Homo-oligomer: A and B are copies of this chain.
Amino acid sequence: MQAGKSSIQFEHPPIITSAASIVGQTEGEGPLASFFDRVEPDPTFGKKSWEEAESELQRQTVQKCLDKASRQAADVNCLFAGDLLGQIVATSFGVELFDIPFFGLYGACSTMGEAMILGAMAAGAGYADRVLALASSHFASAERQFRFPLAYGNQRPQSTTWTVTGCGCVMIEGNEKNEGKDGRRAKENASESLKNAGQEKLHPKFQPCIPAATPGKIVDMQMRDSMNMGAAMAVAAVDTILQNFRDFNRKPSDYDRIITGDLGMVGKEILLDFMREAGQDISSIHMDCGIEMFDPKTQDTHSGGSGCGCSAAVLCGYILPKIQAGEWKRVLFVPTGALLSQISFNEGQNVPGIAHGVVLEGKESFGE
């Protein structure tokens, strides 16, 4: 990264060696159902509060991610994670049992992007051999936090999104070529991990890696409607995507997909309009995780899915496998967040947006 540019380029791109996703029942009735590792029919996850349910969702997803890589928690150097709740309590209680050094994050629904960028930095420089990056949301804990008690049965405008009950977790490791950097990671460790957890199991053809990232700025368009967060976030996504194009001298056709987090139907239109105005038509390659998550014909979820678990689960269940299969060679993953709290909203504050861009590429697993 250089002054005047926002993006980071990884000389030896960190690799994603495992990914897991678990979602709730409504998500399990949507178009992507078959791609997730597990659909949990019990919204309480066997716990006695929505917050504990979300913690349990995180715990199970982290465990699944470790299991898929044949790894133990002790093999992981640090964990980057967050959720939507005040003081990210779902995360604190969700990950504490793993006893891994922990960086708590809050990026609203952009948290998965934030976690992956920081995780890629730590692994890319050799400060960590192996990290986990995850984000979760839960419909019921988020509704209570940001909107209304479920029992109140309030009316929802069409621009409202539906908070996804879901969690996605990725394991990021340094590239084995990246020895001798500032950190102290031993080359042997990395090679061994590739053997144990690498291509045979998870990367049949192409190994997903993170060659670059564009961390987002806070973009405040003076929006004040918490029931239309897609609009607040769309402009932040525009800012990050254009910054990425400028920093790497790229155009839409350099990506197979540009995938936003949870703009929903309303936010998507705004994104595409603003991008067109900037001379960059991304309509043919744009996808939004929130729109993919639910079927608008059969599921009454209005503008689409949202919540930081939405983009995290879609990344792990749907996007990474497409890259592994070689279907997509280069993707710009742009989780989008709306920065508000119950208090800021009630005090009449704006709802600024933020979007973190993560470049994902598939590297041929063999012949390197």
Contact = CB atoms under 8 A, between A and B. Distances in A.
Contact of A184 (B2, B78, B84, B127): B2
A128 interface: yes
A178 interface: yes
A75 B343 contact: no
Task: Find the residue from A85, A99, A217, A218 having the highest chain B CB count within 10 A.
Answer: A218
A186 to B, nearest CB: 6
A188 B102 CA distance: 34
Contact of A2 (B86, B104, B107, B189): B189
B103 A87 contact: no
Interface stretch (A9-17, A59-67, A162-170): A9-17
Interface stretch (A264-272, A320-328, A347-355): A347-355
Interface in A108-136: 108, 114, 117-118, 121-122, 124-130
A181 interface: yes
Interface string A180-212: 011111100100000000000000000000000
Contacts of A3: 74-75, 77, 129-130, 189
B104 A106 contact: yes
A157 B117 CA distance: 43
A1 B129 contact: yes
B339 A182 contact: no
Nearest to A110: B104
B181 A182 contact: yes
- Copies of this chain present: 2
Given A75-B3, A121-B121, A99 B217 contact: yes
Interface stretch (A34-42, A90-98, A278-286, A294-302): A90-98
B87 A108 contact: yes
A176 interface: no
Which 9 residue pairs are nearest across A and B when measured between Cβ atoms?
A86-B86, A125-B125, A87-B341, A101-B215, A96-B218, A92-B339, A89-B344, A86-B341, A104-B106
Given A2-B77, A8-B127, A51-B344, 17 more contacts: A1-B128, A2-B185, A2-B189, A3-B129, A86-B343, A89-B339, A89-B341, A95-B218, A101-B217, A102-B217, A103-B105, A103-B118, A104-B339, A121-B122, A124-B182, A125-B127, A125-B183
Interface of A: 1-4, 6, 8-12, 49, 51-52, 74-75, 77-78, 82, 84-89, 92-93, 95-96, 99-108, 114, 117-118, 121-122, 124-130, 145, 178, 181-186, 189, 214-218, 220, 339-344, 347, 349, 352, 354
